[in-house]
Amino acid sequence: MSIALTPEPPYYAVIFTSIRKEDSTFYDETAAKMEELVLKQPGYLGHEHAREDIGITVSYWASLQAIKDWKDQTDHQMAQNKGKSDWYRHYKIRICKVEKEYGM
C-alpha cells in the first residue's frame, strides 16, 4: 500500500470509514477480489487504506458517475450487502470533491 498517484484536481474521493465485527468469514477473499475488479473500473484513479481501531479506505475517481457505476457494479453490490450484514458494525461513506492537492 502506497500513497495514490492522483491527477491534478478536481477529481473525486470516497472516504469509507468502518468498524468491523469479529466475524470476518470471506472478508479477505472478497477484499482481494474487489481490489482486482476495481482496477478495471472506468474512472478509478487509485486508493489508500489503513486499519487500526477503525478502517479507512479512500478511493479516488474521475467523476461522480464513475463512483455511482462502481457502487452499482454487480460483484461489488454483493460485497456491499455482505459488509452490511456480516462484517461491519458501523460504517460511514463520504463522497467528496477534491479541490486541491499538495505534498512532498
Summarize as ranges the residues that interact with a second copy (CB under 8 A).
1-4, 6, 9, 13, 15, 17-19, 48-56, 58, 84, 88, 90-104
Report, in Å, the least distance between residue 42 CB and a second copy. Answer: 20
- Give the rounded distance of the alpha carbon of 5 from its chain centre: 15
Report, in Å, the least distance between residue 37 CB and a second copy. Answer: 22
Q: Which residue has the cell 482486482?
A: 36
DSSP element (H, E) containing 57: strand 55-61
| Pairing outcome for strands 55-61 and 44-51 | antiparallel
Report, in Å, the least distance between residue 76 CB and a second copy. Answer: 16
